């Protein structure tokens, strides 16, 4: 699989979908065979990044390939991969509606079926830490836990998946949920899906939904 090309196309995809602005945000994928981690470079416009700009790192943080500086959040990506053996793609976005709740330090509950199916339960918010710091990396891993997404306080969001397409699905569902939650709060009290039903919806999505799954 051409992981460098996946990174190049994913950066443009994130920008085109309005999930970030300018050079903010970052993306990585992990090769399930070699364990190598492919990361976007630091502070480069996504529409200019080429295969040669992608940085390849080992799990210990050493550089395997590449001449560019990796994203300043490389430690966060590595920390997530160490903690989550089921994750092979990480997308850090700066979406407007999700970030509203990160600024408020307010978790986003599962208020729609799509969120329960794709993300699971409540989307938690990290404690605040400076961008690129070890503390931020630790806080993200802690807030993410076994979930598919978390909010970074006053900063943005982190979404993960078993591959890049799944991670993008989480990004889009999270932003849609945040928008619906914000609008719902403006007119009333949103009804949250129960833990029991969240578990059932999540199980359906993971184990039964799709042409390749058993009924």
Active-site residues: which are they? Answer: 73
Residues 6+ apart with CB under 8 A from 6: 29, 38, 164
Neighbours of 23 (CB within 10 A): 18
Q: How far apart are CA 39 and CA 179, in angstroms?
A: 29
**Structure tokens that stand for 26 in this block:** 């970052």
3-state secondary structure at position 197? helix
**Structure tokens that stand for 5 in this block:** 């090309």
Q: How far is CA 24 from CA 72, 73, 82, in A?
A: 10, 11, 24
Q: How far apart are CA 92 and CA 76, in angstroms?
A: 10
The alpha-helical segments, DSSP class H, found in the chain are 3-16, 74-83, 96-104, 113-118, 134-144, 164-187, 195-207
């Amino acid at each position: 699989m051409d992981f460098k090309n996946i990174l190049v196309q994913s950066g443009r995809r994130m920008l085109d979908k309005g999930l970030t602005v300018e050079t903010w945000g970052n993306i990585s994928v992990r090769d399930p065979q070699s364990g190598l981690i492919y990361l976007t470079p630091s502070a480069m416009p996504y529409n200019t990044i080429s295969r040669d700009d992608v940085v390849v790192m080992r799990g210990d943080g050493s550089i395997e390939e590449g001449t560019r500086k990796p994203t300043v959040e490389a430690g966060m990506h590595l920390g997530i991969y160490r903690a989550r053996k089921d994750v092979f793609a990480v997308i850090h976005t700066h979406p407007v509606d999700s970030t509203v709740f990160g600024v408020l330090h307010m978790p986003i509950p599962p208020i729609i079926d799509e969120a329960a199916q794709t993300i699971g339960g409540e989307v938690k918010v990290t404690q605040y830490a400076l961008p690129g710091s070890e503390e931020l990396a630790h806080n993200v891993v802690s807030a993410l836990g076994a979930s598919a997404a978390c909010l970074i306080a006053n900063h943005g969001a982190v979404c993960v998946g078993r591959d890049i397409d799944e991670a993008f699905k989480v990004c889009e569902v999270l932003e849609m949920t945040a928008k619906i939650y914000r609008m719902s709060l403006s007119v009333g009290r949103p009804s949250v899906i129960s833990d029991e039903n969240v578990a059932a919806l999540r199980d359906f999505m993971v184990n039964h939904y799709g042409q390749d799954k058993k009924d």
